[in-house]
Homo-oligomer: A and B are copies of this chain.
Amino acid sequence: MGIKQIAKLANVSIGTVDRVIHKRPGVSKETEKKILKIIEETGYTKNTTASRLKLASIKKIKFAVLLPETKKEWNYWKLPIQGINNAVSELKEMGVAVDFLHFKDSKTYSKEIDAIFLKEYNAIITVPFFKTESNILLQKAAKKQTSVVFLDTEIDLENNAHFIRQNSRQAGKVAGRLLYGLVGTDGEYLIINKQNDKGTLVNNTQREEGFKEFLKTVHYKKEILSKSYYLKNDFKLSSELITWLKTKTPKGIFVTNSKSHILVKALKKEGITNIQIIGFDLNEDNISCLKNEEINFLINQQPILQGYMAIKNLFNHIAKQETLKTNYNIPIDIILKENLLTS
C-alpha cells in the first residue's frame, strides 16, 4: 500500500497525494479531503525508508551536539558522544549528520549556542547546566522550530523541554536500599557530595535527597552526616571529617558523584577500613576499585545509551513525526564486580 495506490484510488497524481501527506499548500480543500479519507480508510503510512533515500542526498537531518569539553577528568563526555556516533552510523544511509561542539563555562556555552543558530540545524542535543542559558536556548529554538534534547540532568525550565536522563532522585533511593542492605541500622552513614566548577550540582542533590528519603522509609533514626565536599585530584579529607570517621566509624558511604575512587584512596591513606561504599559511573578508576572490592556498587547512568537514544528519538520525531517524550527514563543500572564485564 503505497502513495501510488492512494493516488489511483483518489484519481489524482502521486504529487498531489504527497502534498497532502506533508501538508504542503496548493491542494484544493475538496481533493485534500478526498485523499485524507482514503489514507484513513486504507491505513496508509508513509514509507520513511523510501522517503529518506531520496532526501538523504538533498536534505540531510542535521544535529548540533553541544557538550562539555572531553579533556582529562571530563572524559565522561566521550561516552554520550560514542552513543551518538553509534546511532548516526546506523542512520547515515537515512541522511543524518552531526556537528560536535564543546563548552567549558556558561560564557562559551552561550557563544556556541549563538553559533549553532547561525547555521540551520534540525535539532540540538546538549546539557542543561546553566539555567538562564538553557531558557534562552529553548526560546530561540521554539522560534526556529528546532527540537532540543537535554542529556544527563533534569531541571525546571520555562519552556517545555525534553530530557533523556536517569531519574536521580530515584537513583538515590536505589543507592539507599543497596547500602542499607549492607549496613543496616547499626552504623552511621555518610553522604559525600561534590562541588563542580563546570556546572550544576542538580543530579548530586537529587541523589542525596532520594537516599535520605529511602532511609526514612526504613525508619532509620540516626542523623546522616552529609558533607558537601569539593573533590580535586589532590583530594584530602578535612581534619574534621577524619576525626568524625575515626570516632563514629561509619559503616556506609554514599558518594553522589563519579569520584568514589578518590575517596577509596583517601580512606586507605588514613588507614580507615571496613566501610561499604556506593558511587556513580563506570570510569576506569571506579571500575578498578569495584574489581578490588573497595567499592561495593556503582550506579551506571548509561551515558552511551543516553547519546544513542537522543539521536534515535530525534530522528523518529523529525522523520516519522513521532512525539518526543518530555522525560525519557534511562534505567537505573546497578553494577557490581560480577556483572561488570558482561554488561
Complex CA–CA separation, A53 to B167 (angstroms) = 40
Q: How far is the CA of A93 from the CA of B342 in the complex (A)?
A: 32
**Cα distance, A343 to B333, chains bound together (Å):** 8
* Residues in chain B near residue A176, CB distance under 8 A: 338
Tell whether, in the assembled complex, residue B181 and residue A296 are in contact, meaning their CB atoms are under 8 Å apart.
yes
User: In the complex, what residues of B have CB within 8 A of residue A339's CB?
Assistant: 170-171, 174, 331-332, 334
A261 within 8 A of B: no
| Shortest distance from the beta carbon of A159 to any chain B beta carbon, whole Å | 24
Confirm or deny: A50 has a beta carbon within 8 angstroms of a beta carbon on chain B: yes
Q: Which residue of chain B lies nearest to A316 when distances are taken between CB atoms in the complex? A: B90
CB contact under 8 A between A336 and B49, given known A170-B342, A342-B331, A343-B331: no
CB-based contact B332/A338 at 8 Å: yes
B residues near A171, Cβ cutoff 8 Å = 339
Flag whether A337 is at the interface (Cβ < 8 A): yes
CA distance A76 to B49 in the complex (A): 33
Q: How many residues of A contact B (CB 8 A)?
A: 32
CA distance A336 to B49 in the complex (A): 40
Partner of A177, one of B50, B166, B329, B338: B338
Give A342 Cβ to nearest chain B Cβ, in Å.
5
A182 within 8 A of B: yes
Q: Counting CB contacts under 8 A, is A48 at the interface?
A: yes
- In the complex the two chains form, is B337's CB within 8 Å of A332's CB? no
Does A94 have its Cβ within 8 Å of any Cβ on chain B?
yes
Whether the Cβ atoms of A93 and B174 lie closer than 8 Å is no
**A50→B95 CA distance, assembly (Å):** 12
Give chain B residues whose Cβ lies under 8 Å from the Cβ of A178: 336
- Nearest CB of B to A216, in Å: 13
Least CB distance from A197 to B in Å reads: 30
Which B residues are CB-close (under 8 A) to A170? 338-339, 342
- Which of B53, B166, B181 touches A50 (beta carbons < 8 Å)? B53
Q: Which residue of B lies closest to A170 (CB)?
A: B342
- Could you tell me the distance between the alpha carbons of A176 and B336 in the complex, rounded to whole angstroms? 11
Residues 6-27 of chain A, each 1 if its beta carbon lies under 8 Å from chain B, else 0? 0000000000000000000000
Judge whether B182 and A338 touch: CB under 8 Å. no
How many angstroms between the C-alpha atoms of A339 and B332 in the bound complex? Answer: 6
Query: Nearest-CB distance from A316 to chain B (Å)?
Result: 10
User: Could you list 29 examples of A-B contacts with CB < 8 Å?
Assistant: A47-B93, A48-B93, A49-B49, A49-B52, A49-B93, A50-B53, A50-B93, A53-B53, A166-B342, A167-B342, A170-B338, A170-B339, A170-B342, A171-B339, A173-B338, A174-B336, A174-B338, A174-B339, A177-B337, A178-B336, A181-B182, A181-B296, A329-B342, A331-B339, A331-B342, A332-B339, A332-B343, A334-B334, A334-B336
| A interface residues, Cβ below 8 angstroms from B | 47-50, 52-53, 93-94, 166-167, 170-171, 173-174, 176-178, 181-182, 214, 296, 329, 331-334, 336-339, 342-343
Extra inter-chain contacts (19) besides given A181-B182, A329-B342, A331-B333, CB under 8 Å: A48-B93, A49-B52, A49-B53, A49-B93, A50-B53, A50-B93, A166-B342, A170-B339, A171-B339, A173-B338, A174-B336, A174-B338, A176-B338, A178-B336, A331-B339, A331-B343, A332-B339, A332-B343, A334-B334
